[in-house]
Structure 1
Amino acid sequence: MIDRRQFTRLAAALAVGFVAAPSLAADPVRVAFIDPLSGPFAAVGASGLKQFQFIANEINKSGGVLGGRKIEVIGFDNKISPKESLIQLKRVIGDGIQVIVQGNSSGVANALTDAVAKHNEREPSKRVLYLNYSAVDPSLTNEKCNYWHFRFDANADMKMNALTDVINTDKKMKSIYIIGQDYSFGKAVAAAAVRDLGLKRPDIKIAGNELHPIGKVKDFSPYIAKIKASGAQAVITGNWGADMLGLAKAANDAGLEIPFYTYYAAANGITKAIGAGGVDKVRLVGEGATNPPLTAEWRDVLKRFRAKYPDDRDFTQTRIANTLQMLALAINKAKSTEPAKVAAALEGMRYTTYWGDVVTMRASDHQLQMPVRIFVHTNKNIEFDIDHSGYGLLTESTVSAHVASTPTTCKMQRP
C-alpha cells in the first residue's frame, strides 16, 4: 500500500537515478482533460480542470515523476458531446499525449472507451490510457470493460446501494419519484433505484419514473409540479451540473420540502440554490470527506486550494486527487509513461488517500474499490462551505469499501 510520504521518498530516489538525463526530466508528462469547457456544463468542467491542475502542482512540488518530470494537465473542450470528444481524442493522439482523463457524461465515456480500445489495437506504438474520474455507468466496468480504461469513482450501482440503504431506514417512506437525465447514466440510476427499492422496500411505491433531455431543459417547474402532484414523499435523482441546478431552483421556488437523495447535488451554484430549504433534507452519495476532513494533511490541502483560488475555492471532486496521485505512483512504479506498463502498475494498486481511506484498483475490471459516504446538506458543523454560501456537505455515514463493492461481469482482455 502506498501513501504520499512514500511517494515523496520514491520521487526523490528516482531523481537521483535520473540526474544524468536532464533533457528527459525537462519534458512534462502531459495529461489531456477531455470534458466540457463551454455550454451548459462548462462550470463543472472548468472546476474539474482547475482541481486537476492543482493536484498536478501538488505532485510537482513533491518531485514530480520519473526523477523530476512535471505533470501538466491540458484542457480539451468536448462540449459534452460524444462526437466532439472523439474529435478531441484524435487531436490528443496527434499531439503525442498518452493519458486522457474524463468524467462528465457516461455517454461520452462509452464513446471514448470504445475509441481508445480500437485505436490501441490498431496502433500499439501510440497507445493511450483512459482514466475515468466520474462517468459511472456500471457497464463501463462490466460488459464494456477494457484494459485501457480505469474508473476512480464508485459506479452508479455502488452508489444507489448506499442511498437505498438510507431510504430503507425510514419506515414511514411509502412513495418515491425518480427523475433523471435521458442518457446512459440517467437510465442506469433509474434502473438501479427500481431494482434496489424492489429488493429492500417492496412496499415503497414508485410515484413517477421520468427522464428529461440532458442539458436542454430551461425550466424545471413543470417537472416539479408533476412530483408534487404525484404525492411522492421523496425524490431520487442522478442529475448533475446545470440540470441539478435547475431542478434545485425549481424545487425551492415551488416550496417542495421533501427529501432529495442525489448523486451530485452540490457545488457550482447548486449548494447556494438549495440553501436553507434543503437543510437536513438533501443527501448526496459520494467519496472522500470534507466536513470533517478526517486528516490534517487533507485539511491543509483544502486550505491551500482556497488560498490559490479564493473566488472559486471549492475542491469538491475528491476523486480527482486519487486519479492523479495514483497515476503518478503508477508511472514511478513502472519507471515509464508507456500506457501498457502504467496500466499494469495500476492494476491491484492499494493507495491511502489524503483523507485516510484505503482504496484498491481492482484488477479484474479496473473499478476502484473504495468507501462510499452519505453526506447531508447543512450549515451545521461545516468547516469548508460551498459556493460561499455557509452551507456544505456533512458526513452522515460511511459504507466500507468491502460492503460498497459490487460484483463484475467483466471479462478483461489483456494485451
Structure 2
Amino acid sequence: MSKQILKTKLLPLAALFVCALSQAAEPIRIGMIEGMSGPFANAGQAVARNLQFAIERINAKGGVRLPDGARPLALVSIDNKQGVEESLIALRQLTDQRIGFVTQGNSSAVAAALIDGVDKHNQRMPAQRVLFLNYSAVDPTLTNEKCSFWHFRFDAHADMRMHALTEVIKDDSSAKRVYLIGQDYSFGQQLARSARAQIGAKRPDIAIVGDELHPIGKIKDFTPYIAKIRASGADTVVTGNWGNDLTLLVKAAREGGLNVKFYTFYGNGLGAPAAIGEAGVGRVRAVAEWHPNSGQGIANSPSDAYYESFRRRYPQPEDDYVHMRMHLMIEMLAAAIEKAGSTEAAAVAKAMEGARYKNAFHEAIMRADDHQLMQPLYVSVMRKTSDGSVRFDNEGSGYGFKTERYLPLASTMLPTSCRMKRPD
C-alpha cells in the first residue's frame, strides 16, 4: 500500500479520534435555577430551550478553547418552583457539584437572594467561587445598590426598558389616561415607581388613573381588574406582567372588550399574542433587545437567518419564543473563559468586564462599573401576518411584531449608583 493511500485511509480515523477526544473532554457545566413547574413553567421551559440552543451553537464550533484543549458546554437545570428558599437549596446543590457558573432570571426576588447566596459562598469557599449570570431579573437595584462583582446582568433593567416604552408614549398623542398594573413583588413595585417618574417627566399632562399590584402567579381570572381599568377611563395600560399573569390579563381584556393600548415588557410571546388576538393589532406594544421581525426589509437579513435557525431547531409553534440576550450571554461567557484561559470565577469575571459583543445584527457592551449589559432596544407593535405587514408571527398565532422605535445602544444607557466591592 502506498504512503498516499495509507495517509488517505488514516484521515477519517484521525477525525474520529479528534471527535472522540472532544466528546471525552470534561464539559464546562452551567447550572440553571428556574421554575420548570407550576404557573410559570412555560417561561422556564422557554429559557431552557434558548440556553440549550446557544450551547449547541458553541459546541458545534468545537466548544470553548482552553490551554489544555477544547471543552464542550453543558446545561444542568434545577426546578426551583419559583421559590426563594428552593433556589438557595438549588444553589447549594450546584456548588456541591463544583459547578462554577449559575444562571437564573425569571424573578428579581429570587435573583436578589441568589446574589446574596453567591457572595456568601464565595467568601466561605474562595477556592470554589462561582459566577451568577442573570438573563431576565430586571429590578434595577440588582446592578445599583445591590450590585456584586459576582453578578452579571444580560437583560436591560426595568428603568432602561421603561425608558424605551416612555419614549414612545411621549409621542403618543392619544395617551392621556394611563393605568399601571403589575405583579406584587420587587420588580412590579419598582416598575410602577419608574413608570410614574418617567411618564411624569416626559408627559406631565398624562394622568395616572390607576396603580394596581396583584399577587404573582395567583390570579386565575383578571376580569375584576379589567373592570377597574374600564371604570378608571384609562386609554392606555402599562404592565410588566410576564408568563401566565400577562396571558390571562390580556385574555380578560379581549373577552371584556377593553379597547385600550397595552405597553408591555413581555407582550410578544408565551401565549400573549394569541390570547389577545385581533384586539391587539396596532394596540399591543412590547420592548425587547431584539425581535424576529427586526430585520424586516433587509435583503438576506442575518437576523432572519438567525431566527429561522431557531425555528428549525424547535419547529413546534408553542416552542417559538426567542431570547436573543440568552444566546448572547452564553457566547459572551464562552469568549470570557477563552480570554481568561481558565474557568476560575474571578478570572472569567475580569475578562467579562468591558467585553464587547457584535454580530451581523446586534451589539452590546458589558459595563464594568456595575456589570450591566448595554445593548439596543426595540419597541414593536403587534400586527397580523395575513396583511403582509410582518413576515414572522409569534408561536403560530398569526400575529407578529413590527419595529415602531429603535433605540441604539448609546440611547439606552442609564447611570448607575453601584459601588462595587472587588475581590483582592
TM-score class, shorter-chain normalisation, is over 0.9
Report 1:48-127 matches (<5 A): 48-66=47-65, 67-127=69-129
Does 1:217 find its partner at 2:219?
yes
CA distance in 2, matches of 1:162, 1:155: 11
With normalisation by structure 1, the TM-score equals: 0.92
Given the alignment of the two structures, is residue 335 of structure 1 paired with residue 329 of structure 2, yes or no? no
Q: How many Å separate the matches in 2 of 1:102 and 1:252?
A: 32
**1:221-260 to 2 correspondences below 5 Å:** 221-260=223-262
Stretch of structure 1 that moved more, 62-71 or 208-217: 62-71
Aligned residue pairs: how many?
395
Of the three residues 305, 310, 329, the one matched with 1:323 is 329
Alignment correspondent of 2:275:
273
Look up the equivalent residue of 2:361 and give its one-letter code: G
Greater CA drift, 312-321 or 236-245: 312-321
2:145 aligned with 1:143 = yes
Residue 297 of structure 1 and its aligned partner are, at CA, apart by: 3.6
SS of the aligned residue for 2:165 comes to helix
Alignment-mate amino acid for residue 202 of structure 1: P
- Distance between the aligned counterparts of 1:112 and 1:337, measured in 2? 20
Q: CA deviation at 1:327?
A: 0.5
Task: Note closer, same or farther for the CA distance 1:51–1:23 as it changes in structure 2 (3 Å cut).
Answer: closer
CA distance in 1, matches of 2:327, 2:262: 27
State the distance in 1 between where 2:389 and 2:118 align: 44
Cα deviation, residue 203, structure 1: 1.3
Give the drift of 1:200.
1.1
1:399 maps to a residue whose letter is L
Give the drift of 1:266.
2.3
Report what 1:377 is aligned to: 382
Residue 152 of structure 1 pairs with residue 151 of structure 2: no
2:171 partner amino acid = T
AA paired with 2:28? V
Paired AA for residue 310 in structure 2: F
Question: What residue ranges of structure 2 are gaps of 5+ in the alignment?
Answer: 1-17
| Cα displacement string for residues 84-130 of structure 1 (whole angstroms, at most 9, x for unaligned residues) | 11011011111111101111010111110111011111111111100
Which residue number in structure 2 is paired with residue 6 of structure 1?
A: none
Is the Cα–Cα contact under 8 Å of residues 374 and 398 in structure 1 kept in the other structure?
A: yes
What CA deviation, in whole Å up to 9, does each residue of 1:290-318 have, x standing for no partner? 20336744323322221222114414211
Change (3 A) 1:299 1:23: closer
**1:375 touches 1:395 (CA, 8 Å); kept in 2?**
yes
Q: Aligned AA for 2:390?
A: I
Q: Over the residues paired in the alignment, what is the CA RMSD in angstroms?
A: 1.6
SS at match of 1:68: strand
Deviates more, 1:25-34 or 1:360-369: 25-34
Q: How much does 1:397 deviate?
A: 1.3
Q: Which amino acid aligns with 1:374?
A: V
**1:366 equivalent in structure 2:** 371
Structure 1 residue aligned with 2:31: 32
Q: Is the 8 A contact 1:33 1:74 kept in 2?
A: yes
Q: TM-score, normalised by structure 2?
A: 0.90
Q: Is structure 2 residue 170 aligned with structure 1 residue 203?
A: no
1:9 aligned residue:
none
Question: 1:289 & 1:90 partners in 2: Cα distance?
Answer: 35
Q: For 2:303 and 2:236, locate their aligned partners in 1 and report how far apart those are by CA, in whole Å.
A: 34
Query: Contact between 1:305 and 1:315, CA under 8 Å: does it hold in 2?
Result: no
Aligned counterpart in structure 1 of residue 408 of structure 2, from 396, 400, 415? 400
Q: Which runs of 5+ in 1 are unaligned?
A: 1-18
Of the structure 1 ranges 307-316 and 229-238, higher mean CA displacement relative to structure 2 is found in 307-316
Runs of 4+ in 1 over 4 A off after TM superposition: 21-25
